[in-house]
Amino acid sequence: MKFQERVFSGMQPTGSLHLGNYLGAMLKWIDLQKTHECIYCVVDLHAITVWQDPAELRQAIRQVTAAYMAAGLDPKKSILFNQSQVSAHAELAWVFNCVARLGWLNRMTQFKEKAGKDRENASVGLYAYPNLMAADILAYRATHVPVGDDQKQHLELARDIAQKFNNDFAEPIREMGYEDGIFFPQPEPVITGPATRVMSLRDGTRKMSKSEPSDLSRINLTDDVDSIAKKIKKAKTDPEPLPGEVEGLEARPEAENLVGIYAALAGTSKPDVLSEFGGKQFSQFKPALAELCVEKLGPIADEARRLMNDPAEIDRVLANGSERARELATPILNEVKDVVGFIRG
């Protein structure tokens, strides 16, 4: 079966969004709206794989929604909703729990990182997390998934699950009229641009992340002008001036990170940035980078704050998106039930 191109992605409503989310995911989501049918999901079911205070979770769901709308996500054009309102995600995830193998999940590096040393005490949900992510995507037969580099392994697992489902149920799938036996597509990761992996400002070998204790390590979308300037000024660098060519960034992770951030924010490439700043010191580059950050992020933070003044309106956006999402996912889930051999009334 030839599947029509459809984009799906999700973000967790935990902590505040940072520059890594913005450059690794948001910018691409917004861009893809121009060319594709897009479904964007606030993954609240994923969030509770680690403890969330209920009142804070509710707030975080609205905040993430507001941030995406402020950044340019148009809820009229694209579908924007929160996962728990569309039960197809959880239902399909259960089927996938029975398709995926323990051995596959045991290889997931994000689980190992998040569970840490006390693995026995991690929730079962944290372990099964990638199966739910596969269900998110495949409940819509999405073909393209824009994410940051850290999600690549989870995407590969989603592809494996799609393939195993197609193989395991080859016969009923053909009987249902899928002549080529393909029920689920193989979703493609969309991991492109100069900043697919934004690194910590304090350590160029670690990912910028909301779980990093030092707030100096990241730029939050809600940071004011002064903190952005301060964080960039304090960002770790090396003593050399910037090179004129990208090869000169090798083994200079902090320099490479800042150049990548600049390129992504400016909508250009690393070579373009280096042809402008090659030979210059960080003392010249950093103020330019700070200014660009403020210029791009400032208006988003302002607009997100404005939207948060009307939480009922955000809830309405999510309810409307959920209804549209349900319309797409329900017929696919019903077919899954038939394929698997369930009876439905």
End-to-end CA distance of the chain: 27
Which does residue 7 bind out of ligand TRP, ligand AMP, none, counting CB within 5 to 8 angstroms by kind? none
Binding mask 95-134 for ligand AMP (x = CB under 6 A): ----------------------------------------
Q: Which is nearer to ligand TRP, 17 or 293 (CB)?
A: 17
Q: Which is nearer to ligand TRP, 79 or 274 (CB)?
A: 79
Which does residue 194 bind out of ligand AMP, ligand TRP, none, counting CB within 5 to 8 angstroms by kind? none
Which does residue 136 bind out of ligand TRP, ligand AMP, none, counting CB within 5 to 8 angstroms by kind? ligand TRP
Q: Which is nearer to ligand AMP, 24 or 321 (CB)?
A: 24
For 146, other C-beta atoms within 10 Å of its C-beta total: 26
What angle (nearest 5°) sits at the alpha carbon of residue 55, between those of residues 65 and 83? 45
Taking a C-beta distance cutoff of 8 angstroms, is the pair 95, 110 a contact? no
Question: What is the separation of C-alpha 252 from the centre of its chain, rounded to a whole number of angstroms?
Answer: 26
Residue in 195, 193, 167, 192 with CA at minimum distance from that of residue 181 = 167
Q: Does 156 bind ligand AMP (CB under 6 A)?
A: no
DSSP-assigned states of every residue in 148-215: -GGGHHHHHHHHHHHHHHHHHTHHHHHHTT-TT---S--PEEE--SS-SSPBPSS-TTSB--TT-S-G
Q: Which is nearer to ligand AMP, 165 or 204 (CB)?
A: 204
Q: What are phi and psi of 159, to 5 degrees?
A: -65, -40
Q: Is 280 a catalytic residue?
A: no
As a whole number of angstroms, the distance between CA 217 and CA 200 comes to 5
Q: Of 207, 231, 270, 296, which one is the catalytic site residue?
A: 207
As a whole number of angstroms, the distance between CA 89 and CA 278 comes to 49
Q: How far is the CB of 48 from ligand TRP (least distance, A)?
A: 13
CA atoms within 13 A of residue 99's CA, in its CB half-sphere: 25
Which does residue 137 bind out of ligand AMP, ligand TRP, none, counting CB within 5 to 8 angstroms by kind? ligand TRP
Residues 173-202 that bind ligand AMP (CB under 6 A): 196-198
In this chain, which of 20, 130, 187, 260 binds ligand AMP, going by CB under 6 A? 20
Taking a C-beta distance cutoff of 8 angstroms, is the pair 144, 28 a contact? no
- Contact residues toward ligand TRP (CB under 6 A) are 8-12, 43, 46, 133, 136-137, 145, 147, 151, 154
Q: Is 236 a catalytic residue?
A: no
As a whole number of angstroms, the distance between CA 196 and CA 21 comes to 9
Q: Is 286 a catalytic residue?
A: no
Q: Of 152, 164, 210, 230, which one is the catalytic site residue?
A: 210
Q: How far is the CB of 311 from ligand TRP (least distance, A)?
A: 23
Which does residue 20 bind out of ligand AMP, ligand TRP, none, counting CB within 5 to 8 angstroms by kind? ligand AMP
Q: Does 207 bind ligand AMP (CB under 6 A)?
A: yes
Strand, helix or coil for residue 81:
strand
* Catalytic sites, residue numbers: 114, 207, 210
Residue ranges binding ligand AMP (CB under 6 A) = 11-12, 20-21, 24-25, 147-148, 150-151, 196-198, 207-209
